[in-house]
A and B are shown apart, each in its own frame.
Chain A
């Protein structure tokens, strides 16, 4: 009894911690409502405090997560990877607990689950792993610095800060959700604050940019919604704890007493928005479509001490088994049931993958769907550009990594080359177009398109079997590239904001000579420019290098194109640097150097881009990499 109570408080702690991470900014947005309307400084400090507190909670979560990894790690290897600490394993354990109400599970597992709308099987499920934590911390840092960068906003300050904090809440919630429905809710919650932030505080053409942003994003989320609906229609009864199926059968009998027990059990269907479960279905479908259904195996009780490794030893010589079906399921019936569903058809897989891909491609943005980005960036105020580039684009990459690939692995594998090609096209196209820009912000917007192309290429570099570690490198690189781009791109948008405050234009041809009046500023921006360019020793290099390394094994042609594109990157960035900072220009001679507040924003970015470049492994990889390894270890053996 005491045990049960203790364990339930443990679960509460996870719930509270993760909910706090997601909702602290929103709570502070509510607090802002209470600040008297004249007290602008108080509002700003409230917002700073709120975002800083969120960052603190994020760092605490990092410590917890590291402890979790450490507690399970095998001391003999350097890696902290252990199957039990994978997000899906933890979420599964949690699901088993919530299905029965009792049971042993990993306490402090950083996964929380509560029923929200049981009518549609929607759970309020939050969880964190290395992949999401990287982006959560990035979000928290960028939002904190964006609030500091917003010090000069005067009109409707309260509304502005409330919207900004709501936006942060939406992004954090999306990164933490374990439930597709919840993810979609958070994903859409971000839409409106962004619309108003661009539409109300933007530049001259703000209405056009705001509506364009919303329409493109809605287009993407429509695809996403359609995919979610399709996935929810899948009957996942063989992939969830069987107690749940028995409950459904009992419900059916209550509705229609004429049913026999056996018939009810046979008719019972379970639908879910839980993407861990849906991922299992996706993997089973991949095996089935590749005619390897004999590898689909039933999970055994954990107490028996059998895990995948033991099972592999038992079945020497037979194909490697994949434990997908839930404990106590009749394997033959389950496979027959799976094959009878429309989810197990190539069309379904292709269509759902395409919908998810397009949905997230809009956010990344991937080339034919990138058109909203330059306009949104040009019109948005500086801090919003920072968030847009630093955080919102990452949601696209995160979505591809977390949803599109694991939920439809078969289609992803079939289309991997095309996805990689789209990534490379983005890299090259973004760089070429960036070279032709006169507007500083537009140049950076296209550089974002180019840099995010590496993320797509890294994810798509599907190499299975013995080459799986190449794919692991590439995915690690993609994750790191998101982090690095988040740091450098938001920093560079702030760099533009600083000079815009002084010159009141962003025309690259009319700048020049900033090095003389603003030495500190120029020095800091030089570091950021070089970081963005991918100079070794700075953060941009690590991600690109890893991606290209992994992509080489996948397809050397794509890798070569990606490498050559770095020359273009260097060209447009150096050219821009030259046009802004070098030379002599009387128009800029009287500009004051950066203020203390501006340094407070720039310095963390500069330090981060150096530190991430020098200690990528210590700072990020050691705790992020196990999750990526887990991710790859699930998908790579399916091929």
Chain B
């Protein structure tokens, strides 16, 4: 009996197309941009076409209904429930911001290619949120990675730029191979590539482990490989080595992308593979009672946040600093994954996955906002490389400085910014794991470590803040030009504040996007 003779399966396969229409639109516009690039394309034209593409995809996403009525998750390759639409909107909004940011990086002769790659990457992120099959998940991840190689190379033909592109390419390919290796184990264990089937058969096999805990070490091996493969994308220690070098050499707009999109994709993919963030999750295969995977995640989270923050203290180069800061924030987000994949009871108010989604949103706003300010400031005549290059920005460039300051406040986690609400949610989630969880005390220790880390991180962010406002500028004030990057920066900063002051509607959305998986 082949699956093809199952009519329901065939129906689900053909019906999947309607769940990816916005992504199809994005890729279509990307193809159009490549065609336009083949002729001759000016910078504004490419930007406008790309923006229209994003808006068009957004309109399709908003207007085209997604009938999920007779949806059977063990058959469909695309799962539009759970976090899917949240991730899609996140990708679309991010794409719009990145198109604005791209203005700084498209001074070369390839603006259309740049934007085309950007749209494909955004489509890839969006697909990660709804892939319900190991194959489609891997394809979605590659749709994000491959355009990124091109993007890293396109704008800068400098040695550092080439080095960063090469480094990212080689390590990314390696991580994809490791991830695939893990996928092959999962397939071998479950006998299916369907994510729902994989998760539920692993979860269903778990009760046997009480009798013989060594039955399925392969499941743990598979997940370790997956964590390694995705750890590269989210820049978790010890898979973070590329980040500072790549950030330093890469063009600012692309680095802003690199700081956010792979994190979204990596964390969402990890959460999906651990059995959460889907309305139809079939139990938790890797809870604390049955495997050591949560402990592995615990260690990775602690090491990632501590390492990132400590090394960020030593940095002078802004992009390296933000690279390490991004690593540290990845560590905080791992808390969300960790809490989500341990069994939450039905009454848990804070589930790790909605805290994770909220933090992804907050992190995206503050980090992309900060990079947008850097992109705004650096131009052919002025390079912003080190922290000292920002001296006196508060006087010479008040608007950009204010936007950067808001983003920094948020990164520190001061109240009334998105970063605070996000951190608080993560910490609350970690502290509130039910008392009968096996590693309960470890979770409390984790919270304390995270809170201390948040305090340590304040030191290096405050250093930038001090340079911004308390130091005299090196150069006299230049006339400030408004640029698309500045618009993006101000928008991100404003959104950071809105999310900090009134997070309720967004928190409701993330809660809807991350349904609590009932404990077994």
Contacts and interface: CB of A to CB of B under 8 A. Distances in A.
User: Direct contact between A and B in the complex (CB less than 8 angstroms)?
Assistant: yes
Interface of A: 116-120, 184-185, 188-189, 191-192, 195-196, 199-200, 206-207, 210-211, 214-215, 218-219, 222, 225-226, 229-230, 232-233, 248, 252, 255-256, 259, 267-269, 271, 340-342
B431 interface: yes
Contacts of B150: none
A206 B462 CA distance: 14
B409 A200 contact: no
Given A119-B504, A256-B346, A271-B349, 20 more contacts: A117-B502, A120-B424, A188-B414, A189-B415, A192-B414, A195-B462, A199-B469, A206-B470, A210-B466, A211-B466, A214-B462, A225-B427, A229-B428, A232-B431, A252-B346, A255-B346, A255-B516, A267-B345, A268-B347, A269-B349
Given A218-B458, A232-B428, A342-B435, A267 B346 contact: yes
Contacts of B466: 199, 207, 210-211
Interface in B335-380: 345-347, 349-350
A412 B424 CA distance: 26
B349 A215 contact: no
14 contacts: A119-B507, A120-B350, A120-B425, A191-B414, A192-B414, A207-B466, A210-B470, A215-B458, A225-B424, A226-B451, A232-B432, A255-B346, A255-B516, A268-B347
B425 A226 contact: no
Interface in B395-448: 409, 414-416, 420-421, 424-425, 427-428, 431-432, 435, 444, 447-448
A200 B468 CA distance: 11
Nearest 8 pairs between A and B by C-beta? A185-B415, A119-B507, A222-B455, A267-B347, A188-B415, A233-B431, A233-B432, A199-B470
Contacts of B421: 117
A214 B409 CA distance: 13
A252 B518 CA distance: 12
Contacts of B508: 119
A341 B414 CA distance: 30
Nearest to B448: A226
A135 B469 CA distance: 32
A117 B421 CA distance: 10
A259 B346 CA distance: 9
B454 A222 contact: yes
Between B428, B507, B518, the greatest number of chain A beta carbons within 10 A of the residue's beta carbon is seen for B428
B503 interface: yes
B455 A120 contact: no
A185 B416 contact: yes
Nearest to B440: A342
Interface in B178-201: none
B452 interface: yes
B459 interface: yes
Contacts of B431: 229-230, 232-233
Nearest to A227: B451
A229 B425 CA distance: 9
Give chain A's interface secondary structure class: helix
B409 A218 contact: no
A534 B25 CA distance: 78
Contacts of A211: 462-463, 466
Between A200, A219, A232, A233, the greatest number of chain B beta carbons within 10 A of the residue's beta carbon is seen for A233
A188 B470 CA distance: 20
Between B416, B448, B511, the greatest number of chain A beta carbons within 10 A of the residue's beta carbon is seen for B448
A340 B435 contact: yes
A296 to B, nearest CB: 21
B427 A229 contact: yes
B411 to A, nearest CB: 13
Given A229-B447, A230-B431, A269-B349, A196 B469 contact: yes
Between A200, A210, A214, A225, the greatest number of chain B beta carbons within 10 A of the residue's beta carbon is seen for A225
B455 A229 contact: no
A256 B425 CA distance: 22
A356 to B, nearest CB: 14
A119 B421 CA distance: 11
A271 B425 CA distance: 13
A580 B346 CA distance: 70
Contacts of B345: 267
Contacts of A255: 346, 516
Contacts of B504: 116-119
Contacts of B511: 119
A255 B279 CA distance: 11
A182 to B, nearest CB: 9
B358 to A, nearest CB: 10
Contacts of A259: 346
A118 B518 CA distance: 23
Contact of A192 (B409, B444, B507): B409
Given A269-B347, A340-B435, A233 B428 contact: yes
A188 B424 CA distance: 14
B415 A184 contact: yes
Contacts of B414: 188, 191-192
B458 A214 contact: yes
A211 B466 CA distance: 8
A119 B416 CA distance: 16
Contacts of B427: 225, 229
A215 B462 CA distance: 9
Nearest to B500: A185
B409 to A, nearest CB: 7
